[in-house]
Amino acid sequence: MRAPTLRAAGLVTVVLAGLLGSAFVLGRSLVPDPHPSAAGVATTLTGPRYGEQPPSTDFPSGTTSPRPSPDAAPDAAPVPPDGDGPYGAQVATGSSRVALTFDDGPDPRWTPQVLALLAQYGVRATFCVVGENVEAHPDLVRSIVAEGHTLCNHSWNHDVNLGKRSPATIRADLLRTNDAILAAAPGARIAYYRQPGGAWTPSVMSACADLNLAPLHWSVDPSDWKAPGATTIEAMVRSQMGPGAIVLMHDAGGDRSGTVSALQQLLPELLARFELEPLPVGSP
């Protein structure tokens, strides 16, 4: 092969190698870095992704849940606890006290962080737990109960279409979750049920009545399941908060770093305005 031909072939090889290298660097830059795991704890970002499961739109909503006025003073009249949510689900505490609720756990990464913050500020909350996560992490359920928080049944595997199933299937799902909770924490009180996605139906309400579980909805929803970032979560909670509010947040189902960061900022503010108690909060 002649020298000019060799030089030309070498030049082509160098150019192709450069182009391939640039494409590789560009491709890597478009892939987000994995979120670092907590020390000694496996990440669950590849686990159940309930945060990617939006509320179902196939269900009638019943009555609209009222949100407390953002300008309401802490001593204003509380929202009545019953009858104002979808199909009569509870949307308020029935007193001036505020209830923080955390859905979709327990999660070995995020739940301990939420528990640590609540302990730091002396706040007790309500954890709406998913049966399959309870079965996988019974130690976290025991920690929740031991630290004075209360438990709420949140279905076995966060099926937002559970309300479409047969009454027998719905009842079996709730019972299976109750059994998992009691296996993890014998003697724990399970007084509430929260339907995934807020997709309440008459069949779900009937199952709750049959199992003596109060249907628990919410009045403050910062949509943290979308992981919009701590600043957005904080702003939405502040704008919706009022006496008697039930606040919906999440300690599992996706990346909850924004929720944890928002909680760190919100807890001292909320404590300055309200008394925070786990459900049931009792009389005013």
Active site residues: 103, 250
Beta partners for residue 193, in sequence order? 153, 215
Neighbours of 228 (CB within 10 A): 16
Q: How far apart, in whole angstroms, are the C-alpha atoms of residue 56 and residue 54? A: 6
Nearest to 123 by CA among 157, 152, 100, 91: 100
Asked if residue 90 lies in contact with residue 152, where contact means CB atoms within 8 angstroms, the answer is: no
For the record, the structure tokens of 34 come out as 């994995």
Beta partners for residue 129, in sequence order? 153
Distances (CA, A) of 117 to 43, 121, 149: 19, 6, 13
Q: What is the DSSP string of 40-80?
A: T----TTS--GGGSPPPSSS---SPPP---TT--TTSPPPP
DSSP 33: P
Beta partners for residue 103, in sequence order? 128, 250
Neighbours of 9 (CB within 10 A): 11
Phi, psi of 259 (to 5 degrees): -65, -45
Asked if residue 163 lies in contact with residue 170, where contact means CB atoms within 8 angstroms, the answer is: yes
Only one residue has tokens 């919410």, namely 218
